[in-house]
Amino acid sequence: MSARGRRVAARARHPTARQWPPDRARLLRLLAERAAGRGARWPRVAAAVIALRGVAGDDRPTFATRVGIPLDQLERLEQGSEPPTAVPPVLRAVRGLVDWSWVDAGPPADPRPG
């Protein structure tokens, strides 16, 4: 191995080169709790869509354009006012970031009194 190759390999082994592993399941649960706290009917749907937009690093208009859905539909999904069946296939096609079976299994929250 060349000296440069050894340097690259050494840097890759160094602790600071390693990324902290993500715990997206925990993050999703937190987002769902927050959505439920805001009165979302479908908090897991809200959590999943917010998480995907967060991973993309987009604001809402950019993300709506990226996935090809109207902005108001994205807003309804993030508010948790749409059921899992309303999640567009383009979002469901994203694998490895969201456990869609967890989203689908989420019961609707009771409507807030009042």
Partner 1 sequence: MDGQGCDGDLVEIMARMADGDDAAMVTLYERYRTPIAGAVQRELRHRGARLDRDEVGGLVIDVCLELREVAGAWSPDGGAKPWVWARRRIGNVVDRALGQHADPLDEARLASAEAPAPVGRVGDRSLVDALARVAPDLESARLVADALDEARISPRDRELVLEYAYEKQAGNPAPATTVAAAFGMKEATVRQAFRRAVQRLRRLAAEDERFAPLAELPLLA
Binding site for partner 1 (CB under 8 A): 15-16, 18-23, 26-27, 30-31, 34, 50-51, 53-55, 57-59, 63, 78
User: Could you tell me where the beta strands, DSSP code E, fall in 1-114?
Assistant: none
> Minimum CB separation from partner 1 for residue 5, in Å?
20
User: Tokens 């390999």 label which residue?
Assistant: 9
Q: For residue 60, give both structure tokens.
A: 């809402």
Cβ-Cβ contacts under 8 Å for 69 (sequence gap 6 or more): 88, 90
Distance separating alpha carbons of residues 76 and 46, to the nearest angstrom = 8
The smaller minimum CB distance to partner 1, of residues 1 and 76, is found at 76
> Minimum CB separation from partner 1 for residue 28, in Å?
9
The smaller minimum CB distance to partner 1, of residues 18 and 95, is found at 18
> Minimum CB separation from partner 1 for residue 113, in Å?
25
The smaller minimum CB distance to partner 1, of residues 70 and 113, is found at 70
